[in-house]
Every structure is written in C-alpha cells, then in structure tokens.
C-alpha cells in the first residue's frame, strides 16, 4: 500500500526524500517517504484511524484535519503544500457527499512535507462513546460485529478454491482477519453478491469467543454503508428496557421499554417461580410471553429508529437469574429453593433465532454471566457499567428493584448479594401506590414547622402549592414519591424513629388523621373538588421500612464480610434508583451512612452494562473474568442478616450510627409508638424540630 | 482411582507388594501395586480399554479375559489367584446381564499377582471396523460424537457455579474433556436430568473442529446405554444411498437408497443447473426435493434399524458439487459455466436443522470438502475410502457415473479431474437400456466361434442357455450388461476396432441384422413366445464408445500431467463400478492398459468414505488436508483432452498400446466401417478370430 513516487509530487529533488508526520491527539510521529498516504502512515504508527473500505476512497471514514504553520511545541513547521493537492477521488467525494472545510481523506492525501495531522474523534475506530457521568467508566467502541469492505479475486479454473474461501483469504490479507467462516445463509447469497458487486463486497463479520472465530453474517454487493445495529436489553421482573445502537458509531438510536408481560403470572420473582412449579407448562408460557415482549420491543425500537429488523445483527441481554432462565426456556424452579442452583452461570453466545427473537435471521446474542442463584446477569451488567473493580474507593452499589442486588468492593476485592426488598419501592403494596406514570406524586416536601406538604407529580413542572396546579390531576404516589414522603415525615417529626405515625395531638398537625387503630398522614385532599385523597398510612410506612431494611441489612452483611464499618461512596442503580434523592435515601436509612454528596444515581446501570457489552467485545471478556472473582454472599443462610434487618427497620437505623447524616440534617426525636404517647416523646420531638436546621 | 489395600487381598505379606501385568494383544506391560484395578493399569500403560462409566461397574465395556498358567514367551507364570475374586458388582452384573465365561470386568478385577490380560476387540475404544477388501484402508472407530458417564458434584450455595459449569468441570476431571459447552436444549433439560439421575448422568458430546470444542448435545439421567446413531449419505445425481451406523460399535445397522427426486427436473447435472437458471425458484424447488428425500431415507433407515430419529446425533454427507450446492440451498448456476466457481470448497459443520433434516433436534452434520467445481465431496470421499495418498503404487481411481470423477496418484502426488461420461453407463441412451433391476441383462458371453450369446439377468442365477431359463422374463439391459455385450462383441469379431457392427455376411452370424443404414446384433429374441427382442444397435455401441472415451481421455490427461505412460493398478468405484468385469472394461478400453488382475472394484467408495468420516473424526482432518494438495485438472480447457478423446473412441484405443490386455486376450481385427467391406477386412478379421486364444 506504500505508494511509489506520486505524479502530483513536486519534482524538486533538493527536498528531503522523506518527511515528518505528527498525529494529534495521540502525539505519535514518524518519518515517511514522500507520497505516502496519510492512512498508511497512521497504520504504520498504530494511530487509530478508521477505514471500512481499506483505503479505496469510498467510505470516507478516514477523514483527517491537517494543520499548517509553525508548531514550536511539536518542533514542526508545516508548509501549505505539505500534503498532495486534492485528487479526483477527493473531489468526487466532496462533490457527491460533502467534506467539511479543512478535512481531507486520509487514504488520498499524501505526505509531501513535514505535517501535523489531527484525527478527529469520529475518525477513530475505537471512538469514545460519550457518557454523561464523570464517575462512570469510559466506553470505547470496539463491537463484536463490524463491516469490512473487501475486494475478492475472481475465480480461476486452475485454482478451484470456492468463492467463500477466496473471500476468507481476502479478509485475512486485507484486514488481518484470519479463518473467517460463512454462515449457511451467507453462503447461499455469496455468489450473487460477489458478481453483483463485481468482486467488491462489504461483509458483516461477527467475532465470537465461543464460536471459534470470525463468522461472516452477511454480504452486500459493493460498498455498503450500513447501518448495522445492535440492541441491548435489560429484562427486569417488572419492566423490560431496550436500547438500539448503531454498531459503527456507538450512537443510541432509540430507547424504549415495556412492561414485562409475565406480571400476569406473578408480581415478583418468587411468585413466578411458584407459577412454574404449580402449573404444568407454566414456565413455557412465561418463556413465550417474555420472548413476544422482546419482539414487540424490537419492533418499537426499529420504528423509533426508522430501521429494519434485518439490520439488527446483534443483541445483548441481561436479567436476573429467573428472567434469564425463563427467557432461555429453562424452568426456573431450582432458583426457588436452596441451594438456588443456576442451570448455567457462564456467559452465553446464541443465535437470536434459538430463542425466537426476530432480528437478522443470523443475528447473534450475548448473554452476560450470572453471579449466583440470586445475583444475575443484570448485576454483572451493573458491575460492568459502574466498574467497582477499577475503583480505588470502596464503593457500595445498590440496584434497587423488586429484588435488590448489592455489590461492595474496590479494585482489590468484590462482594455481592441480593436481598428481597419486595415491590414496595415500585409503588406496589402502598395504599395509594402506582407505577411511575403521569399523575403520580414523585417529589414531596413537608414544612417542619407547619407540617404542610407540597409535592410535584410526573408530567407537570408545577409544585402543588403553585396557583395553577390542578389538584384533581393527581392519581397516586410512585416509588420515589413514597420514599420522599416517608423521609420528609421523619424529618418533620410526623413519624418517629420506629416509623409510628403520630396523632394530630402528638404531632400538632390536623393532617394526621385516625386510620383504624393507627394514624395516617393526608398528603393531598382534592375530594371537595371531586379529586382524590392521598394518604400515607401506617401500613405504607411499614412496607417501606421492611423494604429498606432488607436493602440495608444486605449492604451491612457485605460490610461485615469485608471487615469495614463505612463505605467511601454509594451508587444507587436501577431505573427507579435514578429518581431517589440521596438525602432522603440517607434519612430513611436505605443505605449505610455516607456523606450525602457521595451518594449518586447511576440510572439503569444494568441497561448501560448491556450496552457496553454490545459496543465493546473486550468488555465481555472483562466481565467474565471479574464475575469469577466476585465473592457471593447468600443472605438467606447468614445469621447476622436477620440481626441487621431488625435494626434497619428503624429510621434511619437502631444500631448503626449515621454521623454523616447528622452533619447534613438533625432529625427530631419524637416517640409515638406503643406506650410512647404518654411519655411526652412527641413533645420532645416537637421541641427538636423547632430548632433551625443546619 | 488407584485403590488402597483391598479387603479381599490375601494378607500374606511375604508376597511381593507389586505384580507384573502384561496386556495382549498390545504387549504393553508394567508393575502395579497389589489391589490395582485392571482398568487403572490399562489406563496407566495407555492400553486401549473402553469404559463409558469411568470404572464404576455399570457399563461393562471394559471386559477383559485373564489367562492363567505358564507363558514362557512373555516370561510370566500366572497363578489361579492372580486376580481378586469376583466381587458383588461383578456378581450382580453377571446375574443381571450375563458375562461370557472367562471374562471379568476390568474396573472390578484387581491385580493380586503376575497376570496376562487379553483385551478382546469389542473392549477396545478404537475398535477396528471390519472391511472386506484387503487393499482398502482400515477404519478405526473414533467418532466425533461419544457418550460419557459422569458424576457431577451437587450444587453448593457457597460456590454458586451453575449446574452446567459443574458438569463441564466433572467432564474435564473424569474424562479429560475440557471446556465443554452445552447446547441450549441441553441446558433446558439439564437440571431435571441431573436430579433424576441423582447427580449421575450420561452425556452425548460432539467434538467439532469449527465450533470451537466439545458441545454437550444431550443429557440422560443415570447410565444411558444408547444407542447413539449416525447416518452417512452419498447424494448422487440419480440415487441417494444412506447407511445408518451405531456410533459406539461402528456397526452398520441399516443401508438403504432411493432415487434422487430431482430427476424430474433433469436427468443429469447440467440439465438441473439449467433448470435452476431458467426457472425462478427452480433451485429452491430442487433443494426442497432432495431434503425431503433425505428425510424419507432417514425414515427408511430408522425403520430398518428399529431406531428413533431422535437417536440420530450425527450425519455425514457427500455429493458432487451440484448436489452439494442444491442440498445446502445454494443456487448451482455458477457450476454451469467456466470457471465453474464453487460457492464454498471447504468442509462444513452444520446443524442438521439448518438444512431441515429431521434427526435429533441438535444433530450435527459434517460435509466433506469439494475438490473443484466438477470434482466434489463425493470424490473427496472416494479418496478417503481408497486412500491413494497412502499408496506406494500409482493408482488410478475411476468413479463411474453420469459424471465420472477420476483420481490418479500415490503418496507423493495426487491429480483429479472429472469427465462428463453421460448416462449411457447407467443404461440410459441405450435402445434396450434400463436401470439395474430384476429382468435386466447384467452378464453377457458370446462364443467367438458360433457368435451365439448367452447371458444372465438380475434376479436369476441361471444363464440363458440353461433349460429352465425363461426368455420372457428378460426386460432390458443394464449398464454392466451393455459393457459386457459390447466388449464380447469386440472379442467375437462382431464389431471392429472403430465400433462398426458387421453385416451377417461379414461376420458370418445371422444375428447381425440390418437396422436402417447400419446393423444390429440380436442379443435375445423371445418374440415367438410373446417375449422381448433385445438388440444391441449401432447407436448403442456409439453411446458406449463416447462414454468410455470421455473416461479414458480424462485418465490419460492425468497420466500426461503426472508424466507416466502406465499405472500400477486401477480401482473402479461407484455402485455401478462394482459390477463391471475388469477384463471387459479393459477390452472396451474404459481404463488405460493395466494387468487385468490389477483392476479391482471398490463398490460405492463415496458412500464408504462418508461412513469413514462418520466413524473417525481424525479422517475428517485427514481428507481436509489431502484435498488441499490434490492438483485439479480441468478437462474442458486442456487441449490434449480432445485428442485423447478421439483416439479413445476406438476399441480399445487408436493410439495407446494395450500390451497388458494383449497378454490376457487376443482381439480379432476385422474392418466393417465405410470402405472396409470391399477390402477384405472382414476376412482378415475372421482369419485372426479362428486362431486359438492364449
């Protein structure tokens, strides 16, 4: 590929026969013979410059930006004629497709003098995929499925190798991609494509780890720009989230989600396992349901991205062990009892068709490994996304959901467990609870003086005390709303440390109303206008206490195993985790004590982990290795779990100190529980509450 | 597995603490501690002693025959108590299943003194599969798919590996079978099987070359005896032949065949390629037809072997390039014109389901490599069966069929070509021609003196001159019959070197009757009794001349390339090749000159090659390597082919000398052709004919 003397080259023989080329931002540099294409120089120096067409001036992926003038820091002076003039290929490309000012095609522009070449981010093969959070791992684009443009030698009667074998050899020679094999469907279409493209084709190659090398999934005549797409799924007990990405750019083209239709067989994991055990064919029914849902979701994503199912060449799936097994058609009954044996714990490579997913007919799937019988591929994906194994800090990651996964560790050691929090955090088991949807209360503030609430509902920017707020539009309270409500009630002295709601007399608020043998707090009352009346009942508070106690007890068990009394930071993951206010989580004691500013939300980290595995094949090997060294803790058989759990029912906690919380907020200390009313606990609470915060 | 002191062992401490064990027929020997099981001793010495259950006294595959008394040649004296007495496991096995006299279970019988142990053939893992022909290669049983009995550790909450991963580790530990992965269906059934078998299971493992290692195809609870079956198919243009074998014993359980239903789309290869080109969807129609035929054939084989389709775990398929492509769903049009480009030439591993074959749902297929665009996987299978690459002699292999494949070579060099002989050898294009079926004339003799014929038909042991022979039962003449007829006519002076049939006057036989402007020979006339009148016409002789000329020209082209003037031996392959008499083939000049006794028949060598690849995985690697070094000769572009062809139209040949033939038989030399009648050529012929032969 190194070019001989270029016809456009100035014939001034007094000039040096080679020139210095400096690439930015890598800083890589070297001397090259005059006439060397920039792409060739980049390859020889190992500079990350993309090219699908292999330097044939077709794909324009190798665009570079030359700089001219004096660069004292680099020790280079770049003359205006440091690159060969525009040639026909570049002119044609610019006329047909446009080329931004200052850009050249790296495969066409040739070195004619010392030059500084900037490789813009979009021209790098291993592009950085942008993530918004500073603390999150970087995602480098390096997918398992890629396009290659190849020129294949024509058949020759004296060398009777098949078309496939000549394509394979061309891939090895032109792209260093050895031993590629073709899927059967590829073989069926190969001869027509080669001839239609006049022996120039673009191929999609998947490089799996388990299938023994590169497999050609499709062949297109000539240069094919794509897109080639991938989907990443996080199959949760309640919701299924999906992202569609462009495998060439790493861009997310569509994101969507839908309810897991298995809900009709049982709200939580154990009820679905029971359904499988009690009903012959029940597991198969649930398998069908979730596969249909994934197909519907692929349809939604394709519609949103205006893409064709046939262009979806790859998928990555994560999910908890029960979801994982049901999706794969494995009866989950063994996950219902000790020792919670997984059918398989390793990562898997499958054909999408093996589990009936409607994508490209030969699309490949990658399923992340499971960590243990209760800690699934979703938790592995969280690890991949949050990278605790690369953290110097000791980080606690809590994936909040119906079944919470908890990971504690740093680059030295990792522990994991799961804890059955139940569906309270998702608004279930709450009297006015509902899913996060328009009309649901999601933010709550209670004035510690007046004990009057104000709130915001999903779908509106107005707080409830704004003049235009329509009180009739409120429909219920969602997971993050109930957490804030209970935490605010605790801060306002409406509930005590044990979670008991005080009476109107004890709290001094008429919003505390009798509710059977206990009290409830009236968060919203629009009944006069024909609207709803939303209460936070004693049972609601109890449900949140039990859920958060399970979460904290799990975390504390891991801390015991690790031999630590505090963590450096906390990450709240899960779609729902993204909406929890760190301060309120801490007040509630949902997490161990930690500086408030060290509690962050990771959003749907499992989904992000799936997306990382889709975009970067090395990340698959990474998580497979990391998962093997995660120490699994089974909460069900650890005697200390129960003790931590009982202590964690208190708000924030009966036993564990919360000095960091105390720095942020001083909690009042009333006593409303059995026998407390007469002891003036509420008075003491009220007194404390009146102190200014700070 | 080496046993500690055995409770049954005599406590006589004066005896040596170890003893000599000599295995026959291998002659391997070694000293072992008293109490060592024979199976353990065999394994340590590398003696080929089978065991599926891994020495647990279940499978009885490790049966051995101890010998007692003096063995001066081996230098051993074996006492009656040289082995431990029968234990409970052996007694139970003998009671339940029977054990031949003199046999012990190798895993139970322990060394108690110097002993000679014979390993009978059926107890060897790498059994020799019996072939009848001395010159054919040996087949050693070593299939890609095997059964293993494994004991899997129970799951443990503190080590949350999946069931599959524990099975994989057990396979590695107990059988040295590393990195086995499970098919999805295996995973789906794994947990139930492990528990039903109380953590003891039998697994079928397929070790592919392209799928990156061992894959577990099925799991059975406890010890599963099988059978596990394989099928080998030779897909010919006219017929499809199939064998079903027991993969554990190598035994052929059933053999069957049927017509290739693609015949309705065209008799020969080129007419099928044309059909694909002329009719949209035509290739797909032919693909469906051949796949349906294979499924029907699998059904026939299962019925004959009283086996279940689900037990058929593996298949091997060979066929010519057009059959190969059509079966795989690849449009064969490129094989219809130069440069005859194959879609793929390499061997392939597929799931049977990928080409709709109804076997075990995860059954694997192996397709042999193709040699060139006209020399297919069937020719590769012939090479595997006849092993010219292991031959010291220079061997010419001719696979006679509608399209003949010709291979020439020895261990140093191999050449191959194909030659379009057309269907004359199969009885087509012959006036009274028919397929080889009851009633067809298959053997012909003509008295050189009287020129009276006698013949035999398929389905009868009588010659036609026997008193009980029923002349009305004759229906036609098959391929081997017409070859013998023409050769006998040549030997009897009824036709001349150019193939012209002489008149009654010229030949002196009233059986030579006028037939238009030429003559015909009346082979059989039962018209008086209402039976048939079978003629060999001039056109019939011409058809055979053209067919055999193509064959010989191809062989001679290869001899030119090889730079030789004669070959050491000739193998006639193809179902039809088996029925050709070597002398008659030589008289006809179907093969180059060669001593008659050096011409042998290999039967359906392609089918045998497929069976070898089914029974021995190493044979697959062998043929893949050998095929790569076969030099392909394309007859269509070789100018000398035409010259050889023209010369080979003569019987036996216009140009090539046939000294070996002359040693066996002296051919008369009449001249009946244009201008020959008046020149006394027939007289000369007649004179020579009257000389005694020898």
- Residue B131 has a pLDDT of 64
Is B596 in the same domain as B549? yes
pLDDT digits (tens, 9 = 90+) for B185-244: 999 999 999 999 999 999 999 998 876 689 999 999 999 988 999 999 999 888 899 999
Between residues 329 and 358 of chain B, which touch chain A (CB distance below 8 Å)? 329-331, 333-334, 338-346, 350, 354-355
Instruction: Phi first, then psi: give them for residue A81, nearest 5 degrees.
Output: -100, 30
Examine the domain organization and report whether B362 and B243 are in the same domain: yes
Does B612 lie in the same domain as B521?
Answer: no
Element (H, E) at B646: helix B639-648
Residue A372 domain-assigned (yes or no): no
- Look-up: residue for tokens 């109890």? A542
Residue B345 has its nearest CB partner, among A160, A213, A372, at: A160
| Cα(A396)–Cα(A416) distance, integer angstroms | 10
CA separation for the pair B81, B10 (Å, rounded): 10
A105 in contact with B, Cβ within 8 Å:
no
Q: Do B341 and A191 touch (CB under 8 A)?
A: yes
> Is residue A449 in some structural domain?
yes
Chains A–B, number of C-beta pairs less than 8 Å apart: 145
Give contacts of A 262-291 with B, CB under 8 A. Answer: none
Tell me, what CATH number does B149's domain have? Answer: 3.10.20.880
Residue B331 distance to chain A (closest CA, Å): 7
Q: Which letter does DSSP use for residue B631 in this model?
A: E
Note whether B370 contacts A162, CB cutoff 8 Å: yes
Query: How high is the ipTM of this complex?
Result: 0.84
Taking CB atoms and an 8 Å limit, are A165 and B331 in contact across chains? no
CB contact under 8 A, B188 and A328: yes
Between CA B190 and CA B219 the distance in angstroms is 6
Report, as an integer, the average pLDDT of B49-70: 87
Q: Are B436 and B416 found together in one domain?
A: no
Alpha-carbon distance of B296 to B287, in angstroms, equals: 14
Which CATH number does the domain housing residue A405 bear?
Answer: 3.30.420
In this structure, are A414 and A441 located in the same domain? no
Write out the two tokens for B117.
């142990």
Whether residue B672 lies inside any domain: the answer is: no
CB-CB neighbours of A157 under 10 Å: 17
Question: In chain B, positions 507-536, which contact chain A (CB-CB < 8 Å)?
Answer: none
Which residue in the set A157, A187, A345 is minimally distant from B344, CB to CB? A187
* pLDDT at residue number A692: 37
User: Residue B130: its pLDDT value, please?
Assistant: 63
CA dist., res. A289 & res. A269, Å (int):
15
Q: Which domain holds residue A24?
A: 18-123
Q: What is the pLDDT of residue B576?
A: 73
Residues B552 and B650 in one domain: yes
> Which of A182, A354, A371 comes nearest B184 by C-beta?
A354
Residue A13 inside a domain? The answer is: no
Residue B34 tokens, joined: 């008293």
Q: Which B residues in the span 200-239 are in contact with A, Cβ-Cβ below 8 Å?
A: 210-213
Given B474, B506, B537, the domain boundary residue is B537
Cβ contacts (< 8 Å) between B154 and chain A: which residues? 339
- CATH of residue B313: 3.30.420.480
In a domain, B5, yes or no: no
Q: Which of residues 625-664 of A touch B (CB under 8 A)?
A: 632, 634, 637
Q: Do A188 and B331 touch (CB under 8 A)?
A: yes
Residue with tokens 């994503």: A301
Q: β-strand A599-603 against A569-573: which pairing, if any? A: parallel
Q: Which residues of B touch A368 (CB under 8 A)?
A: none
| Nearest CB partner across the interface for A210, out of B181, B330, B373 | B181
Residues 6+ apart with CB under 8 A from B412: none
Which residues 6+ apart lie within 8 Å of B288 measured at CB? Answer: none
What is d(CA A505, CA A492) in angstroms, rounded to the nearest whole number? 15
Is B355 in the same domain as B406?
A: no
Nearest CA in chain A to B326: A188
DSSP letters spanning A617-642:
HHHHHHHHHHHHHPEE--GGG-HHHH
Residues A445 and A531 in one domain: yes
Omega cis (within 30) before B119: no
Percentage with pLDDT > 90 across chain B: 70
Residues B33-48: tens digit of each pLDDT: 999 999 999 989 989 8
Q: How would you list the strands of the sheet with B252-259, edge to edge?
A: B252-259, B239-246, B229-235, B312-319, B364-367, B348-351
* Interface mutation target, options B160, B184, B186, B212, chain A, most CBs of A under 10 Å: B160
pLDDT above 90 for B157: no
B514 lies in the same domain as B404: no
Range of lowest pLDDT (A289-293, A460-464, B490-494, B574-578) = B574-578
Give B337's pLDDT tier (boundaries 50, 70, 90): confident
Q: Per 3-state DSSP, what percentage of chain A is helix, strand, and coil (rounded to 5)?
A: 35, 25, 40
Maximum CA extent, chain A = 105
User: What's the pLDDT tens digit per position in A71-102?
Assistant: 988 889 999 999 999 998 888 888 888 888 88
- Best of A191, A284, A415, A561 to mutate (most B CBs within 10 Å, chain B): A191
A342 with B162: Cβ contact below 8 A: yes
Q: Which residue of A has its CA nearest to B214?
A: A210
Q: What pLDDT shows up at residue A135?
A: 60
Asked, for residue B467, whether it belongs to a domain, the answer is yes
Q: CB within 8 A of B14, min separation 6: which ones?
A: none
Burial category of B351 from C-beta neighbours within 10 Å (exposed 0-12, middle 13-18, buried 19 and up): middle
Domain stops at, among B204, B221, B238: B221
- Between CA A483 and CA A271 the distance in angstroms is 25
* Chain A: closest CA distance from residue B302 (Å): 27
Sequence-ordered list of residues with C-beta below 8 angstroms from that of A539, at least 6 positions apart, any chain: A431, A518
Q: Judge: A160–B342 Cβ closer than 8 Å, yes or no.
A: yes
Q: Is B466 on the interface with A (CB under 8 A)?
A: no
Please say whether the beta carbons of B23 and B96 come within 8 A: no
d(CA B586, CA B573): 15
Q: Check which CATH number belongs to the domain holding B579 and give it.
A: 3.30.420.40
Q: State pTM to two decimals.
A: 0.85
Find out whether B615 and B245 touch, Cβ atoms under 8 Å. Answer: yes
For position A52, which CATH number holds?
Answer: 3.10.20.30
| Total structural domains within chain A | 5
Q: Which residue in this structure is represented by tokens 């389905």? A: B459
Q: Is residue A599 part of a domain?
A: yes
Nearest CA in chain B to A156: B339
Sheet holding A18-24, edge to edge: A29-33, A18-24, A115-118, A63-67, A104-105
Query: What DSSP string describes B292-322?
Result: HHHHHHHHHHHHHHT--GGGEEEEEEEE-HH
Q: How close A692 comes to chain B (CA, Å)?
A: 50
Three state DSSP letters for A412-437: CCEEEEEECCCHHHHCCCCCCECCCC
User: What's the length of chain B?
Assistant: 694
pLDDT of B414 > 90? The answer is: yes
Burial of B45 per CB tally in 10 Å (0-12, 13-18, 19+):
middle
Do residues B194 and B263 both lie within one domain? no
Q: Is residue A100 part of a domain?
A: yes
| Residue showing tokens 């804890």 | A419
* B341 contact residues in A (CB cutoff 8 A): 155, 162-163, 191
Cis peptide before B358 (omega within 30 of 0): no
Question: What is the pLDDT averaged over residues B589-597?
Answer: 94
**Is residue B88 over pLDDT 50?**
yes
Of B162, B334, B373, the CB nearest to A345: B162
SS3 content of chain B, % helix, strand, coil (to 5): 35, 25, 40
Last residue of one domain, picked from the residues B509, B537, B565: B537
Contact A162 B329 (CB under 8 A): no
Considering only CB atoms, B163 lies closest to which of A154, A155, A341, namely A341
**Does B44 share its domain with B167?**
no
Tokens matching residue B222: 């406890």
Check residue B585 and give its pLDDT: 94
Closest alpha carbon to B382 in B601, B129, B596: B601
- Which 3-state string (H, E, C) describes B12-71? CCCCCCEEEEEEECCCCEEEEECCCEHHHHHHHHCCCCCCCCCCCCCCCCCEEEEECEEE
Among the partner residues A161, A188, A192, nearest to B329 by beta-carbon distance: A188
Please tell me whether residues A238 and A361 are part of one structural domain.
yes
Task: Find, in chain A, the residue whose alpha carbon is nearest to that of B181.
Answer: A210
């Amino acid at each position: 590929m190194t070019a001989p003397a270029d016809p456009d080259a100035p014939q001034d023989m007094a000039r040096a026969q080679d020139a210095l080329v400096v690439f930015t931002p890598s800083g890589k540099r070297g001397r090259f013979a005059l006439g060397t294409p920039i792409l060739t120089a980049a390859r020889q120096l190992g500079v990350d410059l993309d090219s699908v067409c292999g330097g044939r001036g077709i794909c324009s992926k190798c665009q570079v930006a030359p700089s001219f003038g004096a660069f004292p820091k680099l020790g280079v002076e770049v003359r205006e004629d440091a690159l060969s003039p525009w040639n026909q290929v570049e002119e044609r490309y610019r006329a047909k497709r446009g080329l931004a000012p200052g850009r050249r095609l790296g495969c066409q522009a040739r070195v004619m003098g010392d030059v500084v070449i900037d490789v813009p981010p979009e021209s790098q093969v291993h592009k950085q995929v942008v993530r918004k959070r500073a603390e999150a791992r970087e995602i480098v684009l390096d997918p398992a499925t890629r396009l290659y443009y190849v020129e294949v030698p024509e058949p020759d009667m004296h060398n009777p190798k098949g078309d496939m074998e000549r394509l394979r050899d061309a891939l090895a020679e032109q792209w260093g991609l050895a031993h590629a094999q073709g899927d059967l469907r590829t073989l069926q279409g190969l001869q027509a494509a080669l001839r239609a493209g006049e022996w120039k084709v673009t191929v999609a190659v998947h490089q799996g780890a388990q299938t023994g090398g590169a497999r050609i999934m499709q062949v297109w005549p000539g240069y094919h720009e794509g897109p080639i797409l991938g989907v990443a799924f996080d199959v949760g007990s309640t919701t299924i989230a999906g992202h569609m990405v462009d495998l060439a750019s790493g861009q997310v083209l569509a994101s969507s989600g839908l309810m897991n239709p298995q809900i009709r067989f049982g709200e939580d994991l154990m009820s679905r396992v029971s359904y499988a055990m009690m009903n012959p064919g029940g597991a198969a029914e649930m398998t069908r349901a979730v596969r249909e849902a994934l197909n519907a979701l692929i349809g939604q994503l394709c519609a949103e991205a205006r893409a064709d199912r046939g262009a979806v060449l790859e998928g990555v799936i994560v999910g908890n062990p029960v979801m994982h097994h049901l999706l794969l058609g494995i009866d989950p009954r063994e996950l219902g009892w000790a020792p919670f044996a997984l059918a398989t714990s390793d990562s898997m490579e499958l054909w999408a068709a093996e589990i009936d997913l409607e994508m490209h007919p030969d699309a490949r799937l990658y399923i992340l490994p499971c960590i243990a019988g209760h800690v699934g591929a979703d938790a592995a994906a969280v690890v991949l996304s949050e990278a605790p194994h690369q953290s110097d800090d000791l980080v606690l990651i809590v994936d909040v959901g119906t079944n919470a996964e908890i990971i504690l560790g740093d680059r030295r050691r990792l522990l994991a467990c799961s804890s059955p929090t139940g569906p309270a955090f998702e608004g279930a088991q709450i009297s006015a609870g509902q899913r996060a949807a328009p009309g649901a209360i999601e933010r709550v503030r209670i004035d510690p003086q007046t004990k009057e609430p104000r709130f915001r509902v999903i779908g509106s920017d107005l707080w409830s005390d704004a003049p235009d707020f329509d009180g009739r539009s409120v429909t219920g309270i969602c997971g993050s709303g109930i957490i804030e409500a209970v935490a605010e009630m605790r801060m306002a002295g409406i509930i005590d440390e044990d979670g008991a709601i005080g009476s109107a007399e004890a709290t001094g608020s008429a919003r505390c109303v009798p509710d059977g043998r206990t009290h409830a707090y009236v968060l919203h009352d629009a009944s006069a206008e024909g609207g709803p009346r939303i209460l936070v009942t004693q049972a609601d508070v109890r449900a949140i206490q039990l859920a958060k106690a399970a979460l904290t007890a799990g975390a504390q068990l891991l801390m015991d195993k690790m031999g630590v009394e505090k963590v450096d930071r906390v990450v709240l993951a899960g779609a729902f985790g993204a909406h929890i206010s760190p301060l309120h989580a801490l007040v509630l004691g949902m997490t161990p004590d930690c500086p408030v500013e060290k509690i962050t939300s990771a959003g749907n980290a499992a989904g992000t982990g799936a997306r990382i595995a889709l975009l970067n094949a090395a990340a698959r090997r990474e998580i497979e290795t990391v998962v093997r060294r995660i120490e699994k803790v089974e909460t069900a058989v650890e005697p200390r779990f129960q003790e931590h759990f009982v202590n964690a029912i208190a708000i924030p906690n009966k036993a564990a100190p919360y000095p960091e919380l105390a720095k942020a907020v001083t909690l009042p200390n009333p006593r409303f529980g059995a026998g407390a009313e007469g002891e003036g606990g509420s008075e003491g609470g009220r007194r404390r509450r009146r102190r200014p915060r700070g």
